[in-house]
Amino acid sequence: MSDPIFSRSRRRLVRSIALAAPADSQWLLDRMTEELVDRLDFISIDARSALVIGHGAKALRAKFPHETQILSCDLAAGPGVDIIAEEDRLPIADGSQDLIMACGTLDNIDDLPGALILMRRALKPGGLFLGALLGAGSLSQLRACTLKAETELTGQMALRFHPQIDVRSAGDLLFRAGFSTPVADQENISVTYSNLGRLRADVKAAGASNALSMIQPMPRVVAKALRASMLGAPFQEEFAPIYMTGWAPVAGEQRPSGPSKGLF
């Protein structure tokens, strides 16, 4: 068995920090959640039971009638969290949910295909899965500046950023997990920052901090150079959320030939 890429304890810490972040700094998760919830306007679903993994329970509750049972599941304790569990260890009965929405925790799972399979199994036949994660292209400016500073000053580059998947791979993952009519599409968000500190605060609030199992301290000279390079004129940073949609197959349904993208 290969060594895990991500640390379970660090994943819990990252989410704990995000859950405690000021509401106005959680704008990225709010935007990703809003995009997922808005899609329900174009989808016919009678959701009497729903599971929200990570961010978005409040927004989903505002979308459905009061009698809809909505459970909030997260990696750490926080306001409104009903279940504390990891996505690949969900204590949810098979075929028990009409809707599962996952936002803010899918970016750093070692076994994302396995987690998606569990979510699909937890859905009733014909149930809907909505997911969002930061995909390839996110934090491109920070990645480039860190690489430049570290290689120039130390001659090497430590692993400091999470691996990212592209939109095509996201669709493939849904297909492999057994979802019917899998769809994946991507949004590109450009944000202007005046300093590195504000960017770091937004990254923490989005639950996108370093959760790698192997973490190497950044040399002080590199950190100083990185701060200096991002203290001058305002700079642009990129966030590239990927949105995933899939249905739990119903009995006798023919398996689709493959995923599609960009249908929204």
Structural domains in the chain?
A: 8-138+164-188+240-261 (3.40.50.150)
Residue of 126 and 233 predicted with greater confidence: 126
pLDDT of residue 232: 66
Inter-CA distances, 60 with 64, 152, 215, Å: 7, 47, 35
Do the Cβ atoms of 96 and 78 come closer than 8 Å? no
**pLDDT given for residue 76 in this prediction:** 95
Residue 264: band (very low, low, confident or very high) from pLDDT cuts 50, 70, 90: very low
Which residues, in sequence order, are bridge partners of residue 185? 243
pLDDT at 117 over 80: yes
Nearest by Cα to 246 from 188, 200, 178, 191: 178
pLDDT in tens, 12-67: 999 999 999 998 899 999 999 999 999 999 998 889 999 999 999 999 999 998 89
**Strand partners for 246:** 129
Q: What is the mean pLDDT of residues 208-224?
A: 90
Question: Residue 91 burial (CB < 10 Å; 0-12/13-18/19+)?
Answer: exposed
Vertex 15, ends 9 and 19: CA angle to 5°? 145
Q: Which residue blocks in 177-248 are alpha helix, DSSP H? A: 196-205, 220-229
